[in-house]
């Protein structure tokens, strides 16, 4: 086994439960959790609030993003995402940010700009990183790779419940599923770092698994690979 603790990657489509699962897996292993989507959301939020016209986003050079001072700060079992001195939390999950984050994430300048911060977060190992390209691009040598999926309507149901605290009607469920599907298609079809299962990843379908069961499947897999 390596001398440093392992890196575990969790990739998958929207609403598959990556972040909550990654957080719990990290907690149980005493590792730190990186929610890479929060970085893409932070840049989306910064661009929206700075008033940069959206049609200009695809032309922005990478160095132009430096002015926002987006960075990761280790804080207990996680990384906080900061914009200057401001810790970003709920503002990252507004419908507006969610609607704009996927097109922005397809831009190579954006992906390159965020690469370094993510790799720095993993430099000592002991990390559970979730996103779309953790096992394929950011940490291709990660010791453990997971691809988390779930049925589209199940993911839409969970997302709606998480956001509004109530169960969706049929019409609400269909609307939510449409938005999630559109984002997944964008994320999967882009040229740079598309969402896909990394070589060597195991796929965990959480459609019929309880939260506890899906966490346990992952912990068991980590142990089987790292305690040899």
- Chain position whose Cβ is nearest to ligand CDP: 37
CB 110 to ligand CDP: min, Å: 8
Least separation in angstroms between residue 109's CB and ligand CDP is 13
* Closer residue to ligand CDP in complex, CB, 21/102: 102
| Minimum CB distance to ligand CDP smaller for 47 or for 134 | 134
**Shortest Cβ 37–ligand CDP spacing (Å):** 2
Of 212, 161, 207, which Cα lies nearest the Cα of 25?
212
Residues that bind ligand CDP (CB under 6 A): 14-15, 18-19, 36-37, 40-41, 101-102, 105, 131-134, 183, 187
What is each CA distance from 10 to 127, 144, 164, in whole angstroms?
Answer: 11, 9, 25
* Helix residue ranges, H only, the chain: 18-29, 36-50, 95-105, 108-121, 152-164, 170-189, 211-226
User: 87: which 2 tokens?
Assistant: 């810790």
Nearer to ligand CDP, 2 or 112 (CB): 112
> Rounded to the nearest whole angstrom, what is the least distance from the CB of residue 213 to ligand CDP in the complex?
20
Residue indicated by tokens 């603790």: 5
Rounded to whole angstroms, the Cα distance separating 150 from 164 reads 20
Name which of 134 and 201 has its Cβ closer to ligand CDP: 134
């Amino acid at each position: 086994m390596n001398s440093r603790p392992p890196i575990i990657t969790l990739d998958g489509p929207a609403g598959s439960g990556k972040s909550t699962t990654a957080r719990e897996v990290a907690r149980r292993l005493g590792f730190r959790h990186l929610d890479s989507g929060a970085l893409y959301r932070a840049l989306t939020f910064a661009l929206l609030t700075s008033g940069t016209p959206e049609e200009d986003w695809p032309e922005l050079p990478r160095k132009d993003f430096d002015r926002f001072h987006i960075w990761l700060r280790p804080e207990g079992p996680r990384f906080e995402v900061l914009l200057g001195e401001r810790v970003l939390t709920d503002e990252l999950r507004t419908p507006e940010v969610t609607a704009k984050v996927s097109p922005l994430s397809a831009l190579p300048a954006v992906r390159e700009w965020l690469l370094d911060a993510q790799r720095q977060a993993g430099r000592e190992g002991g990390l559970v990183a979730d996103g779309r390209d953790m096992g394929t691009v950011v940490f291709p040598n990660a010791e453990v790779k997971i691809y988390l999926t779930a049925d589209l309507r199940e993911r839409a149901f969970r997302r709606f419940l998480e956001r509004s605290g109530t169960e969706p009607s049929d019409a609400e469920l269909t609307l939510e599923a449409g938005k999630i599907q559109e984002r997944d298609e964008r994320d999967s079809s882009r040229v740079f770092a598309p969402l896909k299962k990394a070589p060597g990843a195991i796929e965990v379908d959480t459609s019929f698994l309880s939260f506890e069961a899906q966490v346990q499947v992952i912990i068991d897999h980590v142990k089987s690979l790292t305690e040899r």
